[in-house]
Amino acid sequence: MYRGRFAPSPTGPLHAGSLVAALASWLDARTHGGQWLVRIEDVDGPRCPPGTDAVILGQLAALGLVPDEPPTWQSRRGELYQAALDRLIAAGQAYGCACTRAEIAAAMGPRAKHGELIYPGTCRPERGGTRGRPARAWRFRVAGHIDWQDRQLGAQSQDLDAEVGDFVLKRADGLWAYQLAVVVDDAEQGITDVVRGEDLADNTPRQIALQRALGLPMPRYLHTPLVLAADGHKLSKQNGAAAIDLADPPARQREAAERLGLPAPAAHLGLADTLAAAQQAWAARYGPAR
C-alpha cells in the first residue's frame, strides 16, 4: 500500500515553494491510490514559533489537502529517536563527539559545504574517542558512497566520506537532527514514497545510510524542481517568501501545478476540479505504468 507524506518544518506559514512540495506529495499519493500523511517536523523547537503548525494545517485544509490520518509532531517522538540512537551506538555506528565548532573549523580550515563543516573524525573511537571529555553531540559514522535512483532526477551518487563526513544525530544542545528523525519517522509510519523539494535531494544519501544501519526499508524518492524567487534564489522564508493568499484557493493550486511543470488546470474550475485536473496530468507523467 502506497503511503506518502508532507513533512513541513513549522518555522513559518506555507509559502508558494512549500505548497509545491505539499501538492506534489498529495498528487502522487492520490495517483497511486495511496494514503497521504502530514508530519510536523518541529524538532528544532527554538526555530518554530508557537501556533505555526496550526496555521499550516489550516492552510492545507483551505487548499483542499487533508491528510488521511491525524498529523504527527516530531517534538512528541523523542523516545523513538533515542531508541534508534541507542541501537546505532550499540552497533558501533554512532559515537559521542566532544569537539566544539571552533575546534572542527580549526582542524578543517576553510573546507566546508553548504556552510556545514565536514567533520574530520577526531572523536572516532579508534582515534581515541573523546579523550575523557564529555560528549557534546552524537555522530553517525559514514563509510563509502551511496548510489540511488530518484524518480525525477534519475541515477544519483554521493561520496559520504568526502562530501559529508560523520554527521550529527543528536546536537550539542540536545536537539535531534533532522536526518535521524526523518528516517525513524518515515519507517515507523510505513512511508513507501518520499516526494519533496529538490533542495533536500542531497540529504537523501545520509538518510539511506541511516536506513541501512538501522535495518529499515528504503522508500522510493521523487524530488520536485525548486521554485525560484524572482531574483533566481531559492524561494524560502528567509528571502521573504510571502505566506499564501487564501482568497482564491483554486488559483493557488493552479499556480502550484504550473510550477511542477504540469499543464495549468482551466481557470474557471473550482478547487476539487482543479486538483482533479492536476492529478490527471501528474498521473500521465508519474503514474504506475499501464
Residues involved in catalysis? 237
| Closer Cβ to ligand GLU, 129 or 225, answer by number | 225
Q: Which stretch binds ligand GLU (CB under 6 A): 3-11, 57-65, 127-135, 144-152?
A: 3-11
Question: Taking the complex as a whole, how short is the minimal distance between the CB of residue 99 and ligand GLU, in angstroms?
Answer: 26
Question: Taking the complex as a whole, how short is the minimal distance between the CB of residue 227 and ligand GLU, in angstroms?
Answer: 13
Record the cell numbers describing residue 99, joined without a space: 569537539
* Residue 216: DSSP 8-state: P
**For helices 204-214 and 78-90, angle between their N-to-C axes, nearest 10 degrees:** 70
Record the cell numbers describing residue 6, joined without a space: 508532507
139 annotated among ligand-binding-site residues: no
Cα 30 off chain centre by: 20
State the Cα–Cα distance between residues 149 and 98, nearest whole angstrom: 36
5 annotated among ligand-binding-site residues: yes
Between CA 102 and CA 203, with CA 117 as vertex, the angle to 5 degrees is: 145
**In the chain, alpha helices (H):** 16-31, 52-62, 78-90, 101-108, 160-163, 178-188, 204-214, 249-259, 271-286
| Closer Cβ to ligand GLU, 200 or 283, answer by number | 200
Is 224 a binder of ligand GLU (CB under 6 A)? no
Question: Taking the complex as a whole, how short is the minimal distance between the CB of residue 181 and ligand GLU, in angstroms?
Answer: 9
Length of the chain (residues): 290
| 3-class DSSP state of 220 | strand
196 annotated among ligand-binding-site residues: yes
Which parts of 4-33 interact with ligand GLU (CB under 6 A)?
7-9
Pick from 50, 10, 19, 39: nearest CA to 235: 19
48 annotated among ligand-binding-site residues: no
9 annotated among ligand-binding-site residues: yes
| 3-class DSSP state of 193 | strand
| Closer Cβ to ligand GLU, 32 or 223, answer by number | 223
Question: Taking the complex as a whole, how short is the minimal distance between the CB of residue 7 and ligand GLU, in angstroms?
Answer: 4
Which parts of 172-211 interact with ligand GLU (CB under 6 A)?
182, 196, 200
Print the binding letters for residues 36-55 with ligand GLU: x by CB under 6 A, - otherwise: -----x--------------
Binding residues for L-glutamate, by number, are 5-9, 41, 178, 196
Kindly list the residues in this chain that would bind ligand GLU in the complex (CB under 6 A): 7-9, 41, 182, 196, 200
